[in-house]
Amino acid sequence: MSVVQGSGRRPVVVVGAGLSGLSCALHLLGAGRDVVVVEREDHPGGRAGRQDMEGYRLDTGPTVLTMPELLDEAFAAVGETLRDRIELVPLAPAYRAAFADGSTIDVHTDRARMAAEVARAAGTREAVGYLRLRDWLTRLYDVEMRSFIDAQFDSPLDLLGPDLVRLAAMGGFGRLAPAVGRHVKDERLRRIFSFQALYAGVAPDRALAAYAVIAYMDTVAGVHFPRGGMRMIGEAMAAAAAKAGADLRYGEPVSRLERSGERVTAVITDQGERIACDQVVLTTDLPAAHRLLGHRPRRPVRQRFSPSAVVLHLGTDRTWDHLSHHTISFGAAWQSTFTEIIDQGRTMSDPSLLVTQPTLTDPSLAPEGRHLFYVLAPAPNLEAGAIDWDEEGRRYRDHIVSTLESRGMTGLDASVRAEHLVTPADWARKGLARGTPFSLAHTFTQTGPFRPRNTVPGTANAVLAGCGTTPGVGLPTVLVSGKLAAARVVARTGSGVLR
C-alpha cells in the first residue's frame, strides 16, 4: 500500500467508514496524520446506511439529525465547512406528536413559538412550566457537553470536579420522568420530553435525568434534514476525507489484526491484504472489536444491550395531510409499553411509533408522484425476547400498518407500491450484537466513566470509537466519539495538534 503524502510514517488505519470512523479520520487528517479507512460495505455511512428500492432512496439508519455543529467541527478539521458539502433544511416543527385522544402538539425549537403551542394545547400554566424546563435542559446540556460528553475518561475519578457538583445540584442523577414532571404536568408534554430515553435503551422512569440532554438536542437545539437524505452525511464526510488525503477502501471486510506483543502491527482484510499501521481505530460493533483484539472485557456487571427496532420502509402512491416530516404517533399505553419491550421481551401491544416522511421535505427521494415513509417501532432485542422474527415479522408488519390506519392513515396498506421490512433478526445478520442497532444501554453502570472506554487494556496502539464506547449512542455522540478517538491517537504519538 502507499503511505499518504509520502511522510514515511505508517498510517493510522480506521476500521469502519461509519460516522464515528469518518469523524475520527477527519480529525486525524487535520492533525497531520496519514489515514487509511477500511470499510466492509461498498459505501460510507455505517449504521447511517442506505438502500435503493424501485426508485425510492431509503435511509436505513438514523433519520433525526441534531447538533449539526458537531459535523461542522469535523469538516473544519480539514479546512472545510458543513455548508460546503451538505444543504441542511431546518425542520419546523421538529416533530408532530399525535396522541390517542386525537390531540396533536407540534414541537418547535423556537422558544416563543413552542411556548405558544404549549399554551394552546395545555394552558398558560404549562407554557410557563415549559419555559422553566427549556432553561433547565439548556443548563444541563452546557454542563454535560463540556465535562461528560466531549470528555475522555480513564477512571471514575475523572468525574470529580465542579461540574459534577453542578450536575448533581440540577438533579442530573435523579430519574428522568420525575425530573420532567417537576416542570410540566400534562401527560402529553411529559411524553414529548422523555420518550428520547428509549434511544438510550432505558425507560423514562428508570433513566438518569442527565439523559434529558437528548431532549435538549431534539427540542431546543433543533432538528435538520440533509437534502438528498441522511445518506449524504457519510458521503460528504468521506469525500472531504478523500480530498484531504485519506485512502478509503470499500468492500474490504477486516478478518483479523496482526499483533506483536501489545502492539497491533497490521490490519488483514478478507482478501488477504496486509495494511501495516502505526495505530488502529476500531469502530465496529463493540463485541466485534473485542473479538478482533482477542480481548474479553472484565466487568463486575454483565453488559446490558438496548432494545432493538422494527423498521418498515414504505413507498406509497399517496400521503396524509396530518403528518409532518417526523410524526410521533403515541398509543394510549405508556408505562406498559416499556415493560413489554424491556422486561417481558414482547412487541408493543399498543405501539408508539416514529413515522418519518422524508419526501415531505425532499420529493426527489421517491419517484415522481410517490411518497416515502420510514416507520420505526421499538422492539425487544434478541436477548430480551424469544421471538422468531422470520416467522413473526410479517404479522407484526401488518399490526403496525393497521395501527397507523386506525390513527388516521386510512388506506395505507392499499397505497403501498414498494416496501422493505427490517427486524432484530436482520440487524443481527448485519453483525450487530443482540440484534440491536443501539448497542449498549445507558444504564448507570454503562454511562460516563463506567461505559466501555475507548482504550483497551493490554493493547498499546488500539483505540475504539462508535456507539458502544464513550460517550454513547446517537448521531451527535458518535461524532464526538470519533473526535475523542483521534485525540487518543494524537496524544499517544505526540505529533500533530487536534483541532
Q: What's the pLDDT at 495?
A: 57
Q: What's the pLDDT at 64?
A: 95
Q: What's the pLDDT at 498?
A: 63
Higher pLDDT, 446 or 357: 357
- Cα Rg of the chain, angstroms: 22
354-384 pLDDT per residue, tens? 999 999 999 999 999 999 999 999 999 999 9
For residue 23, give the nearest of 166, 217, 187, 234 by alpha carbon.
234
Q: Is the dihedral of CA 254, 258, 264, 267 positive or negative?
A: negative
From residue 211, alpha-carbon distances to 95, 157, 175, 472 in Å are: 19, 21, 9, 11
Task: Give the three cell numbers for residue 219.
Answer: 427540542
pTM of the model as a whole = 0.93
* Residues, the chain: 499
Query: Phi and psi (nearest 5°) for 307?
Result: -60, 165
Q: d(Cα 340, Cα 142) in Å, to the nearest integer? A: 34
Q: What's the pLDDT at 196?
A: 85
66-117 pLDDT per residue, tens? 999 999 999 999 999 999 999 999 999 999 999 999 999 999 999 999 999 9
Question: Residue type at 227?
Answer: R
For residue 306, give the nearest of 427, 127, 181 by alpha carbon.
427
State mean pLDDT over 45-66: 95
State the DSSP string of 226-255.
Answer: ETT-THHHHHHHHHHHHHTT-EEE-S--EE
From residue 385, alpha-carbon distances to 308, 343, 346, 349, 473 in Å are: 10, 9, 6, 14, 21
Q: d(Cα 237, Cα 162) in Å, to the nearest integer? A: 36
Task: Give the three cell numbers for residue 452.
Answer: 466501555
Instruction: Kindly give the pairing relationship between strand 279-282 and strand 462-464.
Output: parallel
Q: What's the pLDDT at 62?
A: 94
Q: What's the pLDDT at 152?
A: 84
Which range (215-229, 289-303, 329-343) has the least confidence?
A: 289-303
Instruction: Answer yes or no: is pLDDT of 265 > 60.
Output: yes
**Strands in 383-440 per DSSP E:** 416-422
Q: What's the pLDDT at 3?
A: 35
State the DSSP string of 339-352.
Answer: IIIIIS----SS--
Q: With residue 479 as reference, give the H or E element that holds it.
A: helix 475-493
Instruction: Answer yes or no: is pLDDT of 447 > 60.
Output: yes
Percent of the chain topping pLDDT 70: 96
Q: What's the pLDDT at 202?
A: 87
> Which residues are within 8 A (CB) of 135 and not within 5 positions of it... i.e. 6 or more apart?
none
State mean pLDDT over 134-161: 84
Instruction: Answer yes or no: is pLDDT of 1 > 50.
Output: no
208-254 pLDDT per residue, tens? 898 899 999 999 999 999 999 999 999 999 999 999 999 999 999 99
Task: Give the three cell numbers for residue 248.
Answer: 478509503
Three-class SS of residue 274?
strand
Which range (74-83, 94-103, 171-180, 305-314) has the least confidence?
A: 171-180
**Strands in 40-103 per DSSP E:** 50-53, 56-59, 65-66, 88-90, 95-98
Q: What's the pLDDT at 300?
A: 53
For residue 357, give the nearest of 137, 69, 63 by alpha carbon.
63
Q: With residue 71 as reference, give the H or E element that holds it.
A: helix 68-76
CA within 13 Å, CB half, 313: 24
Three-class SS of residue 20?
helix
Long-range contacts of 118-123 (CB under 8 A, 24+ apart): 118/184, 118/189, 121/186, 121/188, 122/184, 122/186, 122/188, 122/189, 123/186
Instruction: Answer yes or no: is pLDDT of 485 > 90.
Output: yes
Q: What's the pLDDT at 218?
A: 92
Three-class SS of residue 318?
coil
Higher pLDDT, 463 or 200: 463
Percent of the chain topping pLDDT 90: 80
State mean pLDDT over 273-287: 96
Q: What's the pLDDT at 6?
A: 41
Q: What's the pLDDT at 58?
A: 97
State mean pLDDT over 193-200: 85
Task: Give the three cell numbers for residue 385.
Answer: 425476547
Question: Residue type at 130?
Answer: Y
Q: What's the pLDDT at 301?
A: 61
Q: What's the pLDDT at 499?
A: 55
* 427 pLDDT tier (thresholds 50, 70, 90): very high
Instruction: Answer yes or no: is pLDDT of 199 > 70.
Output: yes
* 496 pLDDT tier (thresholds 50, 70, 90): low
* 149 pLDDT tier (thresholds 50, 70, 90): confident
Domains of the chain, first to last: 4-49+62-87+229-302+440-493 (3.50.50.60), 111-220 (no CATH), 306-435 (3.30.519)
Cell 442506505 sits at which residue?
50
